[in-house]
Amino acid sequence: MPEHDVKAVFHSIVESASNEMIPVYDHLEDNYVQGRRIKRGRRAPMFPQKLWNCHERAIAGLPRTTNSCEAWHRKLNSLMGKPHLSFFSMLEQLNEEALVANAKIEKLTAGQSPPKRKKKTDDTDKRIERIVDQYEEY
């Protein structure tokens, strides 16, 4: 949902919540929605909505997760082979990775299709896109 609706929707969910869920909602409110209470006001949330709200990203068709970055980091760690490389060994590995990345860019620029995504991922993205498109109807 758009950022401007988060507080109102959150509070409407809390109003219909069972007592067992109140600690969970308090945590979400303090850390994600409104921030911790201090005297007569509130601090900014620890995790501002700009950080976690994916509404605009979903509209733009952008990834909602950092999975691709995490996968690249895991790959880079396995390429390095050990936790504490010398500077020159690391530089050599990074140069090799840069060559691979440049080759992939060249192939995509030349018209090669990007790698196939999993059907489950495509289906999830389509469902989210439909929900976002129909948000005002909800």
Backbone angles phi, psi at 109, to 5 degrees: -65, -35
Handedness of CA 54, 59, 60, 63 (dihedral sign): positive
pTM of the model: 0.65
Q: CA 1: distance to chain centroid? A: 15
> Could you write out the DSSP letters of every residue in 49-68?
HHHH--HHHHHHT--SS-HH
Q: What is the pLDDT of residue 110?
A: 95
Q: What is the pLDDT of residue 68?
A: 86
Whether the predicted pLDDT of 138 surpasses 80: no
- What percentage of the chain carries pLDDT values higher than 90? 55
Q: What is the pLDDT of residue 67?
A: 87
- Between CA 135 and CA 9 the distance in angstroms is 12
**Residue ranges per domain, the chain?**
3-53, 67-137
pLDDT tens, position by position, 54-86 = 999 998 888 888 888 899 888 888 888 777 888
Whether the predicted pLDDT of 130 surpasses 80: yes
pLDDT tens, position by position, 101-118 = 999 999 999 999 988 888
Backbone angles phi, psi at 67, to 5 degrees: -55, -40
- Between CA 28 and CA 17 the distance in angstroms is 13
Q: Are 25 and 14 in contact, with CB atoms under 8 Å apart? A: yes
pLDDT tens, position by position, 22-58 = 999 999 999 999 999 998 899 999 999 999 999 999 9
